[in-house]
Each structure stands twice: as structure tokens, then as C-alpha cells.
Structure 1
Amino acid sequence: MVEYYKISDLAKEIGKHASTVDSWFRKLEERKLHYVNRADEERIYDDLDLDIARFVKEKREDNWSMDAIFKELEGEFDLRPFPTHGGEVNMEEIREELRRELQEEMREQRVQDLVLRRKIEAELEEESLRHWDGLPETNRFRKGRFFMKQEDLEKREEFVKRYVDRRFEEKFREMIKDRETVQKS
């Protein structure tokens, strides 16, 4: 998801004063090297602008001149060209794009949660059947015709259902924790 910044937020991210960072981007625009998007006539900065600001800061700390930095920028980054339609970015378009991205992420999360739920239920059902098989025959079977024993399927289904219901939340939390651990690494 694209993140947008105000000049104060961008400056805070790189540890420089807002007026300093603003002057860098004004100079880039004056030289027609890089365009900063706008919404309601206010500049809004994105991740590309953040990377550019970090680069400029690093080079300034190494005592590079602004001219040298600007020449180097052209080779390092895919700088944003100036728009031909007047340069205004419609805030509603940005909001709509962000809304669509959020909806897509939420939809994907619901699918992942559904898949995870089904996986947990399947594992717990298998686990419960192993426990069921470990129970004494007197609990699992009933007498059938002609002294034959038949597995009590209703009792087995009830056992599996209760087992899954009792263990689901614990198993779900465990799987979520494992998934978060994998995502962090």
C-alpha cells in the first residue's frame, strides 16, 4: 500500500528540519528534475520522495554539493516527470485508490482466515479421531445384531464435534501466533 506524507512527517522520518527538506524538493522542481505530487494544492510525498530525501541527506552529510547530488539522483532513481495536465492530483482519486487497496487487503485476509479455519478444523478432526480410537471399546461400540459390535457413529460424531469446539480457539491462537512469527522473520 502506498503511504503518503506531509513535509513535516517526511522531515521527521529522515531527521532533518522541514524547511531544509522542502528546499531540496523545491530545487528539484525548479530544475525540472522531479515533480512532487499535490493534493488540493498541497504537496504530498510518497515512498519515492522519502527515498530521495534519505539519499540527499546522506550525500549532504558526506559534503556533496547540491549540483552533484542532483546529477547523481538522475542515475539512482526513476524520478517523477512533470505532468502535462497542470500538475494537480485529485485527492478523491487518491482516497479511492487507497480504499480499493484496503478492500483488497481485507478480502485477502478473509480468504486467508477461512483457509486457516478449515486447516485447523481438519487437524483437530484428525486429532480427535486418534483420541476416539484410543478410547475403550465399551465407549466406542454398541451391540449389533447377532452379537456383532458396531461402531457408534453418532457417538463418534458428537465426540469429534465437542473436541473441535473445545480446542478450536486455542489452536487458532497458536496458528495465528506462528503465522505472525513467520511474517516477522
Structure 2
Amino acid sequence: MKENRHWRISDFVEELNKVFDNQHVHINTVDGWFKRLEKSSIHYINRTMETKEKIYDDLDLKIAIFIKKRRGEKWALSAISRDLPNHFELRPFPVKEDKPAPHVDDIESIKKQISEEVRRTYEELAASQIEELKNQYKQLITSLPKPPSTEEKKNQSFQAMVIQRKIESSLEEEANQAWTKLPDDQRLKRIGFFRKDIDLEKKDKFVRDYINENFMDRLKKEMELDK
């Protein structure tokens, strides 16, 4: 029968990281997981008799591996905690012996101990949450699309210029054809008493207006944005 192994928290976290090919799981994160389980009366961590230091074993390692995998699947800690009894025979809490009520003189000392424990627990949980936020931030940054390179920007600018020139050239040709179909009194101007010629100023304005009025629609069609 395989002997049950035991670790202090630092060695325990190292063992956990080995399971995941040395992926870095912060010690405060792991400690926060098990503090949450104990706070919710779900799973108890053994202590040494002398110093009451937490000692983790193979069952705790299996639970930590389970939590790490579920966190990788974006499970909330509360959901993981509720699911643990479906997969493990969790360690019950030791039966507390009835103790005599503390003497009045000890009340202040007890208050200080409670305050210190609350402060320490808060700091540990805060560190765990900060570590998780850092990991989420790193994942977000790595998932963002990379900005275009200088070469890509140049190519995009060139393509935009080509499209613009293509559209303007096509519209200019259409405008010239439309101009020729206008009545003479709109296209020609009198020069002297007997001669008429093309009103170039009016023609230029006609072509410019035609291009400006039709450019956006033609651009949408060219970019296939009108579907």
C-alpha cells in the first residue's frame, strides 16, 4: 500500500506545480483555496499537534489538482466547492471539546487574537485574489490581436489609394459620358456672335459634383459593404 505523503504549504505548492509541468501557481492562491473550503466547513486541513501548522497530504493534493483544472475551465470557486463532495471523500472537521467559558480577564486577549486572525486571513485572501487578477490580465493581453506592422500599414494605405483612384477614374468616365448627353444649351457657351464652344468651367463642376455625389455608394459597393 502506498504510504500517504505529507507536506508543508511551500512544499505542497511545489508538488502541485510539478503536476502541471511547473506552471506557476502562487502559494497564496493555493492557501486561499483551502481557507475557503475550511471557512465553508467543506474540507479540513490537518494540523501538527505542537504548532497547529497545516500539513497537506495526498488527498489535499488531489483536491488541489481538481481545483486547478476546474479554474482552468473557468469554474467559479463557489461552484467548485459545491462539486467537490461528488468526487472526493472530504476530510471532516475534528469534534470540538466543550471548554469552560473564558475568564473575564482573557476577553481582551481573545479579541486581539480574533482581530489578528481576521486581518491575516483578509491579507492572504487579498493576495490570492490579486494573483488571480494578474493571471486574468495576462490572458486578456495575450488574447488581444496584434497591431499591424509598419509594412502592413503601408500595404493598407496603398490598397486604399488604389481603390480610391479606381473609383474616381470610373466615376469621371461616367460623368463625361453623362455630360455629352446634356442639351447643348447646358454644355455650350457662346463665343462671339456666331460660334459656340464647350463650357469647360461648367463641365469641370459637373464632373466634380458627379464624383462627390456617387463616391460613397461606389465605395460601399467596391468594399462589398452594401450586402
* Alignment TM-score, normalising by the size of structure 2: 0.37
TM normalised by structure 1 equals 0.45
Q: Which has the higher helix share?
A: 1
Larger radius of gyration: 2
